[in-house]
């Protein structure tokens, strides 16, 4: 073994999703060691939370994991509702489930598209995924007015009711997306080059995953059947019938396939929920000035894993401390274990399959 | 003598026009496959886009990095472009339109396009950049490995037609194109895959794509030097399609329309297929690519040669 | 062993052909993009563009100023000689700090402040973006684009009645 080469897969790079700086030590073309340097996107969101009221902080939670904004909003609002004992109307529960599952579907589409791009399928699966994503973003645009940072959930419900005609649009989307999922399978999933590039690459065993507290689709691809929507049901998830897809080997292909299957399961949940939204108010009529004491930790199932909010309140209008447990941070910590001994091309494949978002790693 | 010079000049003119057309075609085909529109604002449906690209490349600053190896770095674009241009000497556009009809035409083309490897390697070495060097070495290994199946499949065509000159091969297809015979259809498949690897197109574009870390052998070039690499790649694509047309699809033969039109239609059809392949398939890894060349393509080509040779002798 | 290899080659080739079929079908589908700027898309009814104001409706309650997460709204008023009527002295919107969350249009009790439909917002000078005077009626005339408020904001068309209070 000669001397090791230190290579900077620097903060700006086409294949790292965001500003991630990986310092790789390589022996020829094989990676021997990897050290991630974080903090290039740090915006001190947790400190800002100590100086904003509970409602004012909701736009900041949008910008944590910006690909799944609705789920972030949801987790924060549920944490505040548990802390301050704010009731939620039934209609709001159903609307929240539908919107959260739609956001899960489009977040997984981005993961699939960018994974294919990292492997070299230049832009075509990415554009197809974004074409499907546009339909839902237009829908969200008509519901709440924005396409990426929604600021839709409020403490006690949602900010506005869905306009007339939304249910039909969602039903059309479900039928359309089912056809597109068949296309993705034909174009990418069973393609021999794709299989050769991603099977048996970056195998994550159950024990290592549990030790690094990995969560989300990555954990499920390693064979552990753990989904917070089934283990600790929140909102009205216990009323719906859906499966939890589990992988067999824990390699990159399994992580990709689990995400594809989860889109189908999300469509199933939405289909069941659309039929029976109860009438009522979209937000509960309580005093909109929130204050209280206590501490709470609440976790929900984000598209990327388990997002947790730890809130401490001491009687004022603003929380005393807000700590965010982000799923991508724990998922990224398993990267040095996985890429030891792999080529550079395989290292990029593993990083793409882990599906991290720097916004929530650095906060 | 004068006629040959004039014909050469006409070939050069054709190369420039063809490169511009191919740049436009690539962007439009990628746009259609991806459900979008492509260039629309520069001229009708973006037809003046290559002109805009050329003007932009002409006006760019010519950056010379420090420490480059003078002769390697400066001459590399020429070593890549000149062989490609010289290959146009023997391409038969029609029964009467060609520059020269060498009686070793096929051998000439295969040998002259191999000189491109030298240019790529010089670009990688001269750039004083360890990542360019890695990219150049990978590219050299790739091109040299895929020469073997390429030549084996071309050899079969030469055996079938009995002559090495381009016009001779076309005459031998007067009673039926070679693609319609099964052993030659297999040879066409092997030829096409090897030729894709020769010009560094997806799925074999490891040296030139933003290959994850290394930025490729032409990273240190800017302005017109980069344009020369670019033009050489697109013209190379056209050349291998033209050779495939000549060897397997009957060249300029066809009913009603004049020969030139048929030749261009068939060649650009194959170029379109190359572009279609680019926007569909992911990239293969380096070691998988080499094992594919040596363990799959070469044995199949050899077997094909053996079996069809035996049938021909019988 | 050899037979499985040959079978694998055929399966691999078939999967590649399937991929080709998908992209070929997509070549003939309708395009999903628009030829901007020749063709422009109109925004949805609830789209959150730039902050806009009907000055005659404002009751100077300071709710929008207090709820803004980034302190992008500055408001000052003075009381006239009869000690009863209030008059706005300065109402300035900082386009750089605004995060377009829409909380100000939710809390306004008289629906005076709202977010309009403008999305083509560029200024030539930085200071023009820092101090947009909301009291002027033609503040956004240099860009075209809709300046209407959202429907649900006005008379409870499905939204929270009268905004979140």
* pLDDT number for residue C151: 65
Across the range A34-60, mean pLDDT stands at: 91
Smallest Cα distance from B95 to chain C, Å: 34
Length of chain A, in residues: 363
Which CATH number goes with the domain that contains A345?
1.10.645.10
Residue C12 lies in a domain: no
- Structural domain range at position C79: 51-155
Q: Report the complex ipTM.
A: 0.85
B30 near A CB under 8 A = yes
Query: B215 pLDDT band (50/70/90 cuts)?
Result: low
User: Mean pLDDT per 10-residue run, chain C (165 residues)?
Assistant: 82 88 87 84 85 87 90 88 82 90 88 85 84 82 64 48 35
Nearest Cβ partner of A196 from B279, B286, B288?
B288
Residue A293 lies in a domain: yes
Which chain B residues contact residue C11 at CB under 8 A? none
Cβ distance A56 to C21 less than 8 Å, yes or no, reads no
Neighbours of chain B (3+ CB pairs under 8 A): A, C
A346 near B CB under 8 A = yes
Tracing tokens 């925004």 back to the chain, one arrives at C43
**Gap between the Cα atoms of C135 and A249, Å rounded:** 64
* pLDDT number for residue C143: 61
Count of structural domains within chain C: 1
Q: What is the Cα gyration radius of chain C?
A: 26
Planar angle of CA A144, A148, A151, nearest 5 degrees: 45
Q: For residue C125, give every residue at least 6 positions away whose Cβ sits within 8 Å of its Cβ, in sequence order, or none.
A: none
Cβ distance C102 to A145 less than 8 Å, yes or no, reads yes
SS3 A190: coil
Of A86-95, B126-135, B175-184, minimum mean pLDDT range = B126-135
Q: Write down the domain spans for chain B.
A: 63-313
Residue C141 lies in a domain: yes
- Structural domain range at position A77: 46-362
Residue C149 lies in a domain: yes
Residue C2 lies in a domain: no
Planar angle of CA A18, A15, A255, nearest 5 degrees: 95
Count of structural domains within chain A: 1
Residue A237 lies in a domain: yes
Residue A162 lies in a domain: yes
Cβ distance C48 to A146 less than 8 Å, yes or no, reads yes
Q: Which residue of B has its CA nearest to A123?
A: B279
B259 within 8 A of B253, measured Cβ to Cβ: yes
B288 near A CB under 8 A = yes
Cβ distance C29 to B35 less than 8 Å, yes or no, reads yes
> Which comes out higher in pLDDT, residue B75 or B219?
B75
Tracing tokens 């038969």 back to the chain, one arrives at B92
Which CATH number goes with the domain that contains C95?
3.30.70.3270
Residue C61 lies in a domain: yes
Residue A142 lies in a domain: yes
pLDDT value at A15 more than 80: no
Chain C contacts in chain A segment 197-256 (CB below 8 A): none
Cβ distance B37 to C31 less than 8 Å, yes or no, reads yes
**Gap between the Cα atoms of B211 and B219, Å rounded:** 11
Residue A252 lies in a domain: yes
Which chain C residues contact residue B35 at CB under 8 A? 26, 29-33
Nearest 10 degrees: Cα torsion C2, C3, C6, C12: -120
Tens digits of residue pLDDT in B229-256: 888 889 999 999 999 998 898 888 888 8
For chain A, give the mean pLDDT. Answer: 89
Residue A244 lies in a domain: yes
B291 near A CB under 8 A = no
Residue A78 lies in a domain: yes
Across the range B87-113, mean pLDDT stands at: 86
């Amino acid at each position: 073994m000669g001397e090791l080469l230190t290579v900077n897969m620097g903060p700006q790079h086409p294949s790292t999703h965001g500003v991630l700086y990986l310092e790789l030590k390589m022996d020829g073309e094989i990676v021997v060691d990897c050290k991630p340097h974080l903090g290039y996107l740090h915006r001190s969101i947790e400190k800002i939370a100590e100086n904003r009221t509970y409602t004012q902080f909701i736009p900041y939670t949008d910008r944590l994991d910006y690909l799944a904004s609705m789920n972030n909003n949801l987790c924060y609002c549920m944490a505040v509702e548990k802390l301050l004992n704010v009731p939620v109307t039934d209609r709001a529960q159903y609307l929240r489930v539908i919107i959260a599952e739609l956001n899960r579907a489009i977040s997984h589409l981005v993961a699939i598209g960018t994974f294919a791009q990292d492997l070299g399928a230049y832009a075509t699966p990415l554009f197809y995924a974004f074409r499907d994503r546009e339909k839902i973003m237009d829908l969200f645009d008509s519901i709440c007015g924005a396409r990426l940072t929604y600021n839709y959930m409020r403490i006690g419900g949602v900010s506005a009711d869905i306009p007339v005609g939304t249910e039909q649009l969602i039903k059309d989307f479900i039928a359309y997306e089912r056809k597109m999922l068949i296309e993705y399978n034909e174009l990418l999933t069973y393609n021999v080059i794709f299989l050769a590039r991603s099977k048996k690459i970056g195998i994550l065993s159950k024990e290592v995953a549990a030790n690094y507290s990995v969560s989300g689709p990555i954990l499920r691809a390693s064979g552990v059947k753990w989904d917070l929507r089934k283990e600790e049901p929140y909102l009205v998830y216990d009323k719906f019938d859906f499966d939890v897809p589990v992988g067999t080997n824990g390699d990159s292909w399994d992580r990709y396939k689990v995400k594809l299957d989860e889109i189908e399961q999300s469509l199933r949940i939405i289909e069941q929920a659309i039929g029976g939204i109860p009438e009522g108010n979209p937000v509960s009529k309580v005093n909109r000035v929130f204050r209280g004491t206590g501490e709470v930790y609440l976790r929900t199932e984000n598209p990327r894993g388990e997002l947790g909010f730890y809130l401490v309140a001491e009687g004022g209008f603003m929380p005393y401390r807000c700590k965010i447990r982000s799923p991508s941070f724990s998922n990224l910590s398993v990267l040095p274990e996985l890429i030891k001994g792999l080529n550079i091309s395989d290292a990029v494949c593993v990083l793409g399959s882990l599906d991290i978002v720097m916004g929530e790693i650095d906060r | 003598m004068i006629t040959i010079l004039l014909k050469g000049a006409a070939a050069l003119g054709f190369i420039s026009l063809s490169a511009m057309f191919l740049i436009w075609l690539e962007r439009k085909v990628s746009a259609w496959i991806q459900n979008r529109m492509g260039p629309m604002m520069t001229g009708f449906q973006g037809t003046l886009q290559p002109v805009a690209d050329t003007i932009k490349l002409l006006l760019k600053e010519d950056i010379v990095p420090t420490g480059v190896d003078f002769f390697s770095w400066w001459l590399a674009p020429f070593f890549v472009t000149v062989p490609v241009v010289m290959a146009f000497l023997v391409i038969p556009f029609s029964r009467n339109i060609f520059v020269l009809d060498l009686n070793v035409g096929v051998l000439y083309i295969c040998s002259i396009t191999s000189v491109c490897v030298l240019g790529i390697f010089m670009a990688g070495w001269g750039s004083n950049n360890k990542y360019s060097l890695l990219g150049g070495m990978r590219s050299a290994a790739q091109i040299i490995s895929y020469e073997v199946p390429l030549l084996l499949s071309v050899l079969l065509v030469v055996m079938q037609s009995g002559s090495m000159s381009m016009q001779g091969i076309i005459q031998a297809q007067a009673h039926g194109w070679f693609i319609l015979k099964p052993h030659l259809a297999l040879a066409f498949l092997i030829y096409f895959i090897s030729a894709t690897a020769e010009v560094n197109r997806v799925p074999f574009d490891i040296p030139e794509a933003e290959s994850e870390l290394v930025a490729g052998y032409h990273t240190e070039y800017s302005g017109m030097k980069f344009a020369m690499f670019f033009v050489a790649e697109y013209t190379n694509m056209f050349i291998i399609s033209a050779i495939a047309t000549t060897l397997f699809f009957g060249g300029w033969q066809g009913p009603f329309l004049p020969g030139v039109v048929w030749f261009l239609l068939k060649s650009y059809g194959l170029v379109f297929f190359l572009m279609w392949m680019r926007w569909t398939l992911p990239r293969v890894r380096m070691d998988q690519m080499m094992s594919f060349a040596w363990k799959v393509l070469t044995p199949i080509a050899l077997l094909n040669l053996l079996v069809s040779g035996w049938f021909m002798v019988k | 062993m050899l037979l499985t290899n040959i079978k694998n080659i055929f399966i691999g080739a078939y999967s590649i052909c399937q991929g080709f079929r998908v992209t070929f079908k997509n070549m003939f589908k309708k395009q999903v993009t628009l030829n901007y700027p020749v063709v422009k898309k109109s925004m949805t009814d609830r789209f959150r563009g730039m902050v806009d104001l009907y000055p005659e409706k404002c009751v100077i309650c300071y709710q929008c100023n207090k709820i803004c997460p980034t302190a992008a709204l500055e408001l000052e008023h003075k009381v006239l000689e009869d000690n009863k009527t209030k008059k706005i002295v300065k109402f300035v919107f900082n386009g750089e700090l605004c995060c377009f969350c829409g909380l100000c249009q939710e809390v306004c009790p008289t629906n005076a402040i709202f977010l309009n439909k403008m999305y083509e917002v560029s200024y030539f000078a930085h200071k023009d973006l820092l101090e947009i005077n909301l009291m002027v009626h033609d503040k956004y005339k240099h860009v075209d684009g809709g300046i209407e408020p959202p429907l649900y904001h006005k008379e409870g068309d499905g939204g929270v009645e009268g905004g979140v209070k």
